[in-house]
Amino acid sequence: MSDNKNSTDAPDTGHVWDDNLRELTNQPPRWWIITFYLGAVFIIGYLVLYPSIPLVNGSTKGVLGWTQMKRLQASVEELDAIRKPFEDKLKGMSAQAVLDDRELSNYVVRSAKVLFGDRCAACHGTGGAGNPGYPILADDDWLYGGNIDTIQQTITNGRTGLMPAFKDNVSEQELDDLAKHILALSQGSEHAAGKELYNSKGCFGCHGMEAKGVEMMGGANFTDTIWRFAPGTEESIKYTITNGVNAPGNDATRIAIMPVFKEQLTETEIKKLAVYVHKLGGGQ
């Protein structure tokens, strides 16, 4: 580009085609040569300083002694140093106090996310979105209650909702009326005969006079469209009434067991999870 040489002066290899087509031996441009030698110097430097040349077992070590493990160790130490003040503070605080501390609760949510993924998501879904047969945690519909202390209790001691199987206590007609009533409740109305049975058969004891659920008993709320046992059709409602929930001695019963975590997790981990679940959106 810079030197517009007359091609007749340029050195050539002596090869000529078609009378005048010569193969020239021009030097590459200067900048190219410099970059080429700099590259070579860099490579030699790198080979000396870092592990690089593959050997039969492993590779050359490099004079700096750099290893991936050391690098990892350094980042873990760095992270621990960032976490420590938060972790120390957490130990002496109640879950409610953590929730009230914005900075701390933000930290806890980030740290509990992984824990939730490992320990809870298999049943409750990623981010508490729920799985068939397991309650959604990311809504404001609670079986046992959504205040922070109740959530902490649930994780610590587990929950086993109990509903007897009514198969020997209700006739075919009664079962039909009860199911119709419960379905009607979820649509904002009622079914007269079923409503009477709801009271006379003692359903209100766990599901409440208003059918919104009694939190102490873990009874489901019937006045919303969230079903614990999908799909929430008349058939599936009848199945629950017939076979109960965790009903002893009935193989066909619905199973609903929230495991006990007090031996598997530390108190701090449970505290973090309680804050995390509360902040999923439905905490009260």
Q: What residues line the site for ligand HEC (CB under 6 A)?
A: 119-120, 122-124, 134-135, 137, 142-144, 151, 154-155, 159-163, 166, 178, 182, 201-203, 205-207, 217-220, 227-229, 237, 240-241, 245, 256-259, 261, 273, 277
The nearer residue to ligand HEC, 65 or 132, going by C-beta atoms, is 132
Q: Least distance from C-beta 263 to ligand HEC, angstroms?
A: 12
Nearer to ligand HEC, 86 or 134 (CB): 134
Local structure of 41: helix, strand or coil: helix
Task: Give min distance, CB of 226 to ligand HEC, in A.
Answer: 7
Q: How many CA atoms lie within 13 A of 52 on its CB side?
A: 11
Residue 56 beta carbon to ligand HEC: minimum distance, rounded to whole angstroms: 47
- CA–CA dist 61, 179 (Å, integer): 74
Q: Give the residue with the Cβ less far from ligand HEC, 61 or 159.
A: 159
Closest to ligand HEC by CB, 104 vs 120, is 120
Could you tell me which residues come within 8 angstroms of residue 278 by beta carbon, excluding any fewer than 6 positions away? 95, 99, 146, 148, 151
Closest distance to ligand HEC from the beta carbon of 187 (Å): 14
- Strands 12-17 and 21-24: what pairing? antiparallel
Q: What is the DSSP string of 158-225?
A: -EE--B---TTTS-HHHHHHHHHHHHHHHTT---HHHHHHHHHTTTHHHH-TTSS--TTTTPPPSSSS
Nearer to ligand HEC, 99 or 155 (CB): 155
